[in-house]
Structure 1
């Protein structure tokens, strides 16, 4: 196994920040794992946000959201999860989601909090997407009072197929020594294949310009890329989702959970049942949104920002 360390150049695409002053740091969380962290600070600080991206993603994908937060006076801390972006990777094929445990990612999140939030006395907010939303919810179920409020966008609560079925299939591949193989329908993407790119766009959102901006960036800088989950990752994911459904009742932080009615990545039909397990979770339904809510059209993104701006801090 090869360990891919954080690139010595922590910001290979500075132009994408459009002049925003972003500071990059490398945070070592264990003997062999380093996380790439970015911090952006506005002139007048209202509070501090931890922005958690999803599976396969990287810091630079969220430059528009980062700028939106800075304009509102929020200092932003964000990072690349282990196994993706320019944080440590764990497979000879760095584009494959393998060797990543959700327990380790939960521990990484605790390290991030200790380094950037534990001693901060101002308002603390979480914004988290997809897998990041899943990790945020699991973190909040274990740590009381760490954040004032959390906004989870299309969090990974349930996949389109039942967890038990995914787990049985994944265990079969793992048992045959193929746990590091790409799961069905996943694998490397040919950027020159227009139909393949169109299928990904149609699967994720409805704003072509926003989709193209981050997809082009990942194409130009292969180190950012991850193509898809392995069977081992799916096995880890289903086990972690099962735990989340048991832990949700312990959350005592207000959570605004945004659901995407046209989501093709997670199962949007399970959110109401999920929210019923916690008095702290309030649903905001976006019936016309795809999975990538922050990369949707202005009207859909606008609903998110309206909800965010009206929070009573």
Structure 2
């Protein structure tokens, strides 16, 4: 592993570092590492944080403070095609991936790097936000975890019922017609947090957290990502449909979904959770998509519940 930049705008805990990881197919991605070991003795385990589409590791520096203070290491990823990771198209503003399974190569590189950084083998837990929830649900069938938590997981995309069939048809035909790299309809090259105004935005009701996100992007525009490509949309639709048809992983699960969610499909989240034995769904009233960027009360509840949830299941594994 080679050292990579970790920008101070993350506002994360002390001791944070970032690394370049090379995946099995040669794509270079970036991982942030915030260790808890040494602060309060040995760490309880490691949180594998899977960010959403357009995101980057600095966005979760403040979240890392919460988990490190509770005795957990935290690792977070720049997935291929976003943040400082390699991008697939000549236009770096377009979110694109060849196949959704390619993200699992990033997961494998992340897990291998974390094992190398841990002073001894530790229990792993996962938090998957938005697209990271889709990647994480697939990973939960493949990698060793003791528990999983999700924030507004992308197990479906919210479309108007009239638009949904057109999204399937247009995205399916995009690659044969040579249009797979074009922006999906209704999306733009500018990243949402810079293109939108705080008033009635779909991410958060907390203005201070809104400006925290914007400040990172204004200081480091290379982190920005615009809308997804038509081909990304098609591969995402196929993956989400396949995941919902699979049985739930045999894993303890805690999921948060905002009461005013307008980006992912709440119906898909409810269907998955209803078929996940023992899983718990929490729906903060009025909350928008970014649970970890929401009001202080919503954030505090998420951190307290996930930390307690992870502590319980890490102890159960330890015996």
* TM-score (ref. length: structure 1): 0.88
Equivalent residue number for residue 41 of structure 1: 35
Q: Distance in 1 between matches of 2:238 and 2:191?
A: 31
Secondary structure in 1 matching 2:217 = helix
Within 2, Cα distance between the matches of 1:191 and 1:148?
A: 34
CA distances 1:165-207 after superposition (whole Å, capped 9, x unpaired): 42212123333321111112211239998xx421686111101
Residue 9 of structure 1 deviates from its aligned partner by 7.8
For 1:191 and 1:232, the matched residues in 2 are separated by: 20
Taking a change above 3 Å as real, the CA distance of residues 15 and 115 of structure 1, as seen in their structure-2 partners, is closer
In structure 2, the residue matched to 1:27 is 21
Which string of whole-angstrom CA distances, capped at 9 and with x for unpartnered residues, describes residues 5-61 of structure 1? xxx982262354366221221111135301111111121222211111100000001
Distance, in Å, in 1 between the alignment partners of 2:25 and 2:200 is: 38
Report the alpha carbon displacement of residue 234 of structure 1 after superposing the two structures with TM: 0.4
Unpaired segments ≥5 residues, structure 2: none
Which whole-Å deviations, capped at 9, do the CAs of 1:72-107 have from their partners, x for residues lacking one?
A: 111111121011111111111111112342111023
Residues 1:15 and 1:140: Cα distance change in structure 2 (over 3 Å): closer
Alpha-carbon distance change, 255 to 191 in structure 1, aligned in 2, over 3 angstroms:
closer
**In the alignment, which residue of structure 2 is the partner of 1:225?**
224
Partners of 1:211 and 1:217 in 2: CA distance: 10
Distance change (3 Å), C-alpha of 1:133 and 1:31: closer
1:111 aligns with 2:109: yes
Alignment partner, residue 209 of structure 2: 210
1:237-259 CA deviation, whole Å, 9 max, x = no partner? Answer: 00000111122x14011111111
For residue 302 of structure 1, report the CA deviation from its aligned partner.
Answer: 2.1
Output the CA distance in 2 between the equivalents of 1:264 and 1:81: 23
After alignment, is 289-298 or 172-181 more displaced? Answer: 172-181
Question: Which structure 1 segments of 5+ residues have no match?
Answer: 1-7
Mark the CA change 1:117 to 1:243 in structure 2 (over 3 Å): closer, same or farther: farther
Shift of 1:278: 2.0
Q: Distance in 2 between matches of 1:190 and 1:309?
A: 31
Q: SS in structure 2 opposite 1:176?
A: coil
- In the alignment, which residue of structure 1 is the partner of 2:81? 83
**1:292 matched to which residue of 2?**
290
Judged with a 3 Å threshold, the aligned counterparts in structure 2 of structure 1 residues 283 and 190 are, in CA distance, closer, same or farther, namely closer
CA distance in 1 between partners of 2:146 and 2:174 (Å): 42
Q: For residue 260 of structure 1, report the CA deviation from its aligned partner.
A: 1.4
Residue pair 1:128, 1:153 contacting (<8 A) in 2 also:
yes
Report the CA distance shift for 1:308/1:192 in structure 2 as closer, same or farther (over 3 A).
closer
Q: Distance in 1 between matches of 2:283 and 2:193?
A: 35
2:275 alignment partner in structure 1: 277
How many residues are treated as equivalent by the alignment? Answer: 302
The 1:103/1:309 distance shift into structure 2, 3 A limit, reads closer
TM-score normalised by length of structure 2: 0.87
Which of residues 299, 302, 313 is equivalent to 2:300? 302
Could you list the per-position Cα deviations for residues 132-168 of structure 1 after superposition, in whole angstroms to 9, with x for gaps in the alignment?
011111111234xx11111100000111126654221
**What is the RMSD computed on CA atoms of the aligned residues?**
2.5
Query: Matched residues in 2 for 1:30 and 1:269: separation?
Result: 35
Counterpart of 1:141 in structure 2 is: 141
1:244 matches 2:243: yes
